[in-house]
Amino acid sequence: MPTVFYQGHDIVITDDVYAIWKPEPQVFDLEALEDLRVEHDGRPGRMVLLVAGALVTVGAAAAMTLTDGAGQYVIAAAVLSVPPLTGRAIRIFTPVVWLLRASYGGAGVTLFASSNAITLLRVRRSLMRAFAANAANVERLDRTGYADAYRRLNSLL
């Protein structure tokens, strides 16, 4: 009976397979998975919001030299408030998506994707434990096979 290392709503990791149920069911044999890595999806919207915020700040700073009196206070408030608002907008509108990727049969596959880094690290850690258990099972089977072959060879001689 396989040992379950992680079980979520849409994935199951055992010492033999990595199974995904959503968006479409897929089962990956752990022995064929290679080059496991964690990446993050850099969305282009983040750069657009960052550039827009920088342009607004530079424009407000330039407008500060053109105005005098009470208008400078309004522009100074705009210059001070735009960077935090831009940062908040970046976090709200373009969350970072963390991806767990690997190579399976020579093709790149995405095993797991989440905007929650802690969940992704839990899945990765469970997968690493499953790899270790799978390797231990394979080594044990190999040793057992060699012992049987050695015994048969001795009985023949």
Q: How many CA atoms lie within 13 A of 98 on its CB side?
A: 13
How does the average pLDDT of the chain come out, rounded?
Answer: 78
The label of the residue with tokens 């394979």 reads: 138
Helix or strand holding residue 86 (H, E)? helix 70-93
pLDDT of the residue at 147 = 54
User: Strand locations in the chain, DSSP E?
Assistant: 4-7, 11-14, 17-20, 26-29, 33-41, 97-104, 107-114
Tens digit of each residue's pLDDT (9 = 90 or more) over 50-109: 777 777 777 777 777 777 777 777 777 777 777 777 777 776 776 778 899 999 988 999
